Amino acid sequence: MEKKKHRITFHPGKKAVLAEEKDSILDAAASCGIHISSPCAGRGTCGKCVVIVSEGITKGVKKGNTYLACKTHPLSDLSVRIPDNSSTGKYKILDHFHEIKKKALSGKNAGIALDIGTTTVAGFLVDLKKKHVVGTASAYNKQVVHGDDVLSRIDHSRKHGVEKLNRLIVETINNVAEELLEGRRNVMVTDLCAAGNTTMTYLLLNNDPSVIKKNPVLDEYKIPYTANASKLGISACGRLQTLPGISGYVGGDVVGDVLASGMHKSNKVSMLIDVGTNGEIVLGNREWLVACSTSAGPAFEGAGTLCGMKASSGAIDKISINENLKAEYRTIDDERPEGICGSGLIDLVAGLFLKGVLDHNGLFADKRKKYVVVPKKESGTGKEIALTEKDVKSIILSKTAIYAGAETLAKIGTPLPELENIYIAGAFGYYLDIEKAVTIGLLPDLPRKRYKYIGNGSLKGALLYLTDAKKRREADAVAKKTTYYELSGDKTFSREFLKALYLPHQDASRFPLVEKKLS
């Protein structure tokens, strides 16, 4: 007997879809291309997939006057409103690439360089003859409905097979390619090059990524793959190459970062830190390289905190605390504030710590329950935007994972004060205020001029790999020679982790410039 289906109409946009009672509203939305924020991949724990059911009967989990889309099912036709906060549609891709102007191609052949991120996919259209970028485009990775991090994607493909996630990433790439080629007639894409973490690379190639969880160290992660793009369903046909990775948790995106930084060619030792849900760290020089991956948690990407949100319109991305201990802030697109994104949260904790509102333990010195950044009447959601001690704890855990990872590599390689440069990568990179990041103990307290932003190194690396045979050889050599250092179970890492669980650190002598500001 055919199962009863209900019509769900989503607003804004009035897109409608038929769904069975076993389907959640989150699944129904995804099936018609609407993406609702779902950092916990529908486990019902993050509370970010909030929707308003304005008409119809449902069975599900209520949150105030709203419902959790992942835990709510239709029992009749429904009318569902997705609040801006829950929508992933307005994500702001934070990079300077948007400043690159669209240019004409010198011939008919073009290449596409791609950064396949867990959250976003960014691409360059490349004039292969002149070897320069003639266009840029980016899109949300459609896989985000199945969780924000690689572990959720691995779990999804283990339970439901790889095909669905493969289809979603191919669709995303096709959207990016379509935008890159818009208005350009008779252009033939002959080569594509993609840099992504190992899970994204596997899913793109339609390979099962479950092996990564079972065995993060395998030679096969270090191989650059070549495939026929059209056989994978990519509309821009041609040869697709993927950058080789280092391990299951340090992928081709990080090899791209290294290539873009040039640290693998220097005699002096440098460190590279890619800040994201996973912090990837590489240390070394032309002789040797060692890399690790540390799970920073979702706080810097807007999840895991009460008022955290992704860097989209209305997110507070810069905050300073004035003499009256009031927050002065800026929002993306100058919209009314709806929440605080990663860079804003780092600013906020750093500002409150320097003003003595937060103590070394991340607790409110005056025993208040929360710090209100935006009162109810000024916020774009009608709810106040505030920071609690629980939020501070989650930010401290994230920063600690990255700092302890950096310190552990430095202990087995070269001490932090001796580093020539510290390269900061990741889309978050350009927007990370180094001073504030050092203040909370996320980055080491080293002379600020040693810090260099490289922005989206993964995309820059993919571009170099696509256009320059010498760089291709360099990247393949970087992947081969970099040693992966496993942090879980490592005694030095555990020790460093415990010491770093403070603002900025238990050992004040490691943060002399921050201490000076406090005195």
The residues, ordered by sequence, that sit 6+ positions from 506 with a Cβ below 8 Å of its Cβ are 498, 499, 500
- Contact residue for ligand FES among 44, 89, 216, 262 (CB under 6 A): 44
- Contact residue for ligand FES among 17, 30, 51, 70 (CB under 6 A): 70
DSSP state of 391: H
Q: Judged by CB under 6 A, which stretch of 7-15, 43-51, 195-203, 240-248 contacts ligand FES?
A: 43-51
Least gap, CB of 260 to ligand FES (angstroms) = 34
Does residue 143 bind ligand FES (CB under 6 A)?
A: no
Least gap, CB of 42 to ligand FES (angstroms) = 5
- How many Å is the maximal CA-CA distance in the chain? 75
- Contact residue for ligand FES among 38, 58, 293, 312 (CB under 6 A): 38
- Which residue, chain included where needed, has tokens 């310190």? 407
The β-bridge relationship of strands 315-321 and 327-331 is antiparallel
Does residue 458 bind ligand FES (CB under 6 A)?
A: no
Does residue 6 bind ligand FES (CB under 6 A)?
A: no
* Dihedral sign, Cα of residue 139, residue 141, residue 144, residue 148: negative
Q: Judged by CB under 6 A, which stretch of 47-55, 94-102, 242-250, 370-378 contacts ligand FES?
A: 47-55
Which C-beta is closer to ligand FES: that of 40 or that of 427? 40
Q: Judged by CB under 6 A, which stretch of 35-43, 213-221, 366-374, 506-514 contacts ligand FES?
A: 35-43
Does residue 315 bind ligand FES (CB under 6 A)?
A: no
Does residue 68 bind ligand FES (CB under 6 A)?
A: yes
Least gap, CB of 145 to ligand FES (angstroms) = 9
Which ranges constitute the DSSP H helices of 161-278?
A: 163-181, 198-204, 210-214, 252-261
Spell out a b/e string for 124-155, using b for 16 or more CB atoms within 10 Å of the CB, else e: bbbbbeeeebbbbbbbbbbbbbbbbbbbbbbb
- Asked whether 146 and 152 are in contact (CB, 8 A), the reply is yes
Q: Judged by CB under 6 A, which stretch of 46-54, 123-131, 406-414, 442-450 contacts ligand FES?
A: 46-54
Reference 192, options 245, 248, 142, 230; nearest CA is: 230
DSSP state of 224: P
- Report the half-sphere exposure of 196 (CA within 13 A, side-chain side): 29
Q: Judged by CB under 6 A, which stretch of 32-40, 269-277, 360-368, 424-432 contacts ligand FES?
A: 32-40
Does residue 216 bind ligand FES (CB under 6 A)?
A: no
Q: Judged by CB under 6 A, which stretch of 37-45, 130-138, 196-204, 459-467 contacts ligand FES?
A: 37-45
Reference 136, options 107, 114, 106, 169; nearest CA is: 114
Spell out a b/e string for 92-102, using b for 16 or more CB atoms within 10 Å of the CB, else e: bbbbebeeeee
AA letter at 491:
K
Sheet holding 327-331, edge to edge: 327-331, 315-321, 339-340
Does residue 192 bind ligand FES (CB under 6 A)?
A: no
CA gap 176, 456 in Å, rounded: 16
Does residue 46 bind ligand FES (CB under 6 A)?
A: yes
DSSP state of 482: P
Which C-beta is closer to ligand FES: that of 81 or that of 452? 81
Does residue 47 bind ligand FES (CB under 6 A)?
A: yes
Least gap, CB of 306 to ligand FES (angstroms) = 14
Least gap, CB of 159 to ligand FES (angstroms) = 16
- Contact residue for ligand FES among 6, 35, 48, 399 (CB under 6 A): 48
Least gap, CB of 38 to ligand FES (angstroms) = 4
Least gap, CB of 141 to ligand FES (angstroms) = 16
Binding site for ligand FES (CB under 6 A): 38-40, 42, 44-49, 68, 70
